[in-house]
Amino acid sequence: MPLLEVQDAVVRFGGVVAVNEANFTAEAGRITGLIGPNGAGKTTCFNVITGLQKPTSGTVHFDGRNITSTPVHRRARRGMARTFQRLEAFGSLTVRDNVRVAHDIAAGFRGVIRPAGADVDALLERVGISDYAQERADSIPTGTARLLELARCLASEPRLLLLDEPSSGLDDRETDAFGELLASLASEGTAILMVEHDMDLVMSVCDTIHVLDFGSVIASGTPAEIRADATVQKAYLGYSDDVEGTRSDLDAIGDTTVIPAVEAS
């Protein structure tokens, strides 16, 4: 059974259907990508999963339980952690203290009181930002701040890690290291669900990819299956199946750093 199961989710904002009968899953020990053009509904899906947005209809199951109406903090206690596109760290605290606060809150949830020092240092080391430990969070580069967000999430030892555009701001070397870190987290059993525009990263680290377009899941499969899917190509680049040259465009997904933005309208 998948750790996370979103079934027939619909979210309407007035006349806008942001999520339209979406079905997808994320499994323990696997990295799952949620991709799609701008405005496809990816962030709204994350909001439904984490409880920030109540779906108009449909359900969310986590570890076999229906959590569709469960408040955000209870979902967090059950093992969900999320990073945001917008960075959320406390700017006036050091990098280390930011992780320490997250650690202490998580430890409080679990009723475990133990010295944070070694755990915090290990987290900083793991995400590769130990050198910034004593810097104020509002003074570090964006890429480092994203890694800080991840460290803060990992402090809660999540079973499901939701990452919203985690690689933006990372350079190529940092992105490679980040991919390796995700693989290592998954190998320990963490389920990772990632919204990401960097197709090279998505294609190289994801076990499964779900593609959203206008709120609907138009394809689900392995990176190879998604790369070969003409419907996906059409959603991203506007080509139809019978246009000559589509094959090479399909092959190009994953060879470019960023998917061309296609505005939903």
Ligand X SMILES: Nc1ncnc2c1ncn2[C@@H]1O[C@H](COP(=O)(O)OP(=O)(O)OP(=O)(O)O)[C@@H](O)[C@H]1O
In angstroms, give the least distance from the CB of 38 to ligand X.
Answer: 4
Helix (H) or strand (E) holding 254: none
Rounded to whole angstroms, how far apart are CA atoms 83 and 88? 8
The structure tokens listed for 86 are 């917008």
Looking at residue 49, its amino acid is: I
Q: Which of 36, 58, 143, 166 binds ligand X (CB under 6 A)?
A: 36
Give the span between the Cα atoms of 137 and 133, in whole angstroms: 9
Pick from 140, 198, 191: nearest CA to 167: 198
Nearer CB in complex with ligand X: 6/99: 6
- What is the helix (H) or strand (E) element at residue 171, kind and residue range? none
Point out which span in 36-44, 65-73, 75-83, 243-251 binds ligand X (CB under 6 A): 36-44
User: By CB under 6 A, is residue 210 in contact with ligand X?
Assistant: no
In the bound state with ligand X, the residue whose beta carbon lies nearer, of 161 and 211, is 211
**Separation CA 43–CA 96 (nearest Å):** 28
163 binds ligand X (CB under 6 A): no
Q: Where are the alpha helices (DSSP H) in 128-209?
A: 142-154, 172-187, 199-205
Candidates 33, 41, 166, 254: give the one binding ligand X (CB under 6 A): 41
Kindly state the smallest distance separating residue 64's Cβ from ligand X, in Å.
27
Q: Between residues 93 and 262, which has the closer beta carbon with respect to ligand X?
A: 262
Q: From 32-40, 119-127, 148-156, 226-234, give the range in contact with ligand X by CB under 6 A.
A: 32-40
Shortest Å, Cβ 263 to ligand X: 8
Question: Is there binding between residue 43 and ligand X (CB under 6 A)?
Answer: yes
Residue where the block lists tokens 């959320």 = 88
**E strand residue ranges, the chain:** 4-13, 16-26, 31-35, 57-62, 65-66, 80-82, 160-164, 191-195, 208-213, 216-221
Residue closer to ligand X (CB basis): 15 or 115: 15
Q: Does residue 39 bind ligand X (CB under 6 A)?
A: yes
The answer to whether the CB of 176 falls within 8 A of the CB of 198 is no
| Chain residues 4-23 in contact with ligand X, contact rule CB under 6 A | 13, 16, 18
Residue with Cβ nearer ligand X (38 or 92): 38
* Least distance CB 16 / ligand X (angstroms): 5
Rounded Cα distance, 233 and 236, in Å: 5
Residue 83 binding ligand X, by CB under 6 A: no
Among 9, 40, 185, 193, indicate the residue that binds ligand X (CB under 6 A).
40
> Contacting ligand X (CB under 6 A), which of 8, 38, 171, 180?
38
Owner of token pair 């609907």? 216
Which residues form the interface with ligand X (CB under 6 A)?
A: 13, 16, 18, 36, 38-44, 264
